């Protein structure tokens, strides 16, 4: 069974590819749809970097549906993952306000509820873009804040939902070894996800990662 990936960026694709290998998929099963890795450097010079990623381009693909229709026309292509970080879409759409930590004894519970509600809100938005088509064929990789919060589970083994700025936190934890935007780097730092036992262990430290994995059950 081949599975397509529509993601905000190539680094997100890299992490998802490692996760899918941990779930038992082979390299040949994984089909990148967005960003389109088939474009050569000559093609890319006519576009800015945003053309290849970002939630607005995920939205564009969903609304147009051309890429999804073409993917599902092939018999062995059965599912698509749609990946979105919540940070920018939540700020842009003013979806849900994050709970305040200072002087808040219920912060942990409120943060957990915030993450669950925000994840579902983004899924509902995606289904709205798609006019509720393909729902039975989709998996939703909704990263609360940023994909880096999922990677942090490997390197901290702590609840990463509390990371205020996952990308900056990951930079600090990796002591400057994080190359933002470098697919090969993200592939390397999330390599541990390729082992199913480790993947399931790390998922307990991030609710949105765990919810994504649960959708494959």
Q: Residues with Cβ < 8 Å from 173, sequence gap 6 or more? A: 152, 155, 156
Residue 53: the pLDDT is 63
Between CA 82 and CA 126 the distance in angstroms is 8
pLDDT of residue 130: 97
pLDDT at 190: 98
* Beta-carbon contacts of residue 176 (< 8 Å; ≥ 6 apart): none
Spatial distance between the Cα atoms of 71 and 4, rounded to a whole number of angstroms = 8
* pLDDT band at residue 41 under the 50/70/90 scheme: very low
CA distance 65 to 167: 31
Q: Looking at residue 52, what is its pLDDT?
A: 53
Percent of the chain with pLDDT over 90: 75
Q: Which one has a higher pLDDT value, 133 or 107? A: 133
Taking the alpha carbons of 52, 58, 62, 67 in that order, is the dihedral positive or negative? positive
* Cα 68 to Cα 38, 116, 134, 157, 192, distances in angstroms: 16, 27, 9, 36, 30
Please report, in angstroms and rounded to a whole number, the separation of the first and last CA atoms in the chain.
15
pTM over 0.85: yes
């Amino acid at each position: 069974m081949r599975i397509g990936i529509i993601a905000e960026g190539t680094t997100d694709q890299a992490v998802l590819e490692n996760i899918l290998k941990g779930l038992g998929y082979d390299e040949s099963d994984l089909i990148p749809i967005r960003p389109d890795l088939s474009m050569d450097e000559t093609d890319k010079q006519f576009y800015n970097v945003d053309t290849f990623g970002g939630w607005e381009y995920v939205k564009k693909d969903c609304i147009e549906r051309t890429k999804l229709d073409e993917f599902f026309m092939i018999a062995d292509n059965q599912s698509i993952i749609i990946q979105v970080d919540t940070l920018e879409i939540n700020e842009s759409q003013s979806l849900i306000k994050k709970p305040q930590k200072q002087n808040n004894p219920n912060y942990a519970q409120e943060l957990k509820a915030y993450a669950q509600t925000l994840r579902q809100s983004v899924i509902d938005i995606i289904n709205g873009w798609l006019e509720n088509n393909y729902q039975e064929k989709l998996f939703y990789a909704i990263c609360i804040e940023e994909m880096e919060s999922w990677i942090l589970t490997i390197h901290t083994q702590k609840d990463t939902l509390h990371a205020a700025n996952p990308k900056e936190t990951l930079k600090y934890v990796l002591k400057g070894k994080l190359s933002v935007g470098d697919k090969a780097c993200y592939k390397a730092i999330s390599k541990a996800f390729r082992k199913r036992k480790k993947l399931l262990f790390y998922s307990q430290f991030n609710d949105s990662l765990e919810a994504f994995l649960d959708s494959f059950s």
